[in-house]
Amino acid sequence: MSWPSPGRAILRAAVGFLGGLALWFALSAPYERLVAGAAEIVLRTAERPAVTRLVARGGEILVDRSDFPPAAPRPGLPAADLHFNFVILTALFALATPLRAGRAALALGLLFAVHVAALCCQVESLYATRLGPWSEANYGVFARNVWAAAFHFYQIAGRFAAPFAIWWPLALWDRTDEKPAQKGPARRKKRRG
């Protein structure tokens, strides 16, 4: 892999960004369903009884519980905030050529795992801090702080840092896989004439 000059880097990043943006707009809705489904499985695994349902609809992830009163409004979480960092990852991958499909797939898998974990933290943070007396009855002070801090960290820094933290070791992988130039006597050019 070769590192481009600053001008080329900006150009490549812009191309990767626009490509990522097109994909993001096209695939956001099914991707949100996928993330919501995976996060629901994780959350229900830790619940006794398993009551959480996550439904991706209209750019939001609606949080439902089978023990919510039927008439109560279901809280919605903005989905774009969760996964817009996909376009940052595509821009970073466009910085270096050639694009390694395996590494790009690995990066996407890691980013998906980050999105699922962030959504789980967001739902737990909602349960722990925004449901009034129910939150206080079911979550202790420590648990409330942990879930709120975990989601707050994702909001303030994690969502921006995740693409870089995923991309950096994969990009370096390329650099360190390069074999160092073999030292030896320089071959003389044949003189013609």
Partner 1 sequence: MKEKNVPPAADDPAVRRRRSYAFLARFLLLLVGFALLVSWNPVNDAVIVPFTAGVARASALALNVLSENVTVAGTELRSGSFGVDIENGCNGVETALLFGAAVLAFPASWKARLTGLVLGFLGIQALNLVRVVSLFWIGKHRPALFSAAHTVLWQSVVVLAGVLLFLLWASRQKPAARAEA
Of the candidates 151, 61, 43, the residue with the CA atom closest to the CA atom of residue 52: 43
Cβ closest to partner 1, residue 43 vs residue 87: 87
**Distance from C-alpha of 98 to C-alpha of 175, rounded to nearest angstrom:** 12
Q: Minimal distance in Å, beta carbon 70 to partner 1?
A: 31
Provide, rounded to whole angstroms, the least separation between the CB of residue 66 and partner 1. Answer: 31
Report the nearest approach of partner 1 to the CB of residue 19 (Å): 13
Element (H, E) at 152: helix 141-153
Q: Which residues of this protein are in contact with partner 1, per CB under 8 A?
A: 3, 6, 9-10, 13, 17, 21, 24, 78, 80-81, 84-85, 87-88, 91-92, 95, 152-153, 155-157, 160-161, 164-165, 168-169, 172-173, 175-178, 180
Q: Which is nearer to partner 1, 46 or 57 (CB)?
A: 57
Closer CB to partner 1, 21 or 143, in the complex? 21
Contact at 8 Å (CB) between 109 and 32? no
Alpha-carbon distance 18 to 90, whole Å? 9
Classify residue 59 as left (phi > 0), alpha (psi -120 to 50) or beta: left
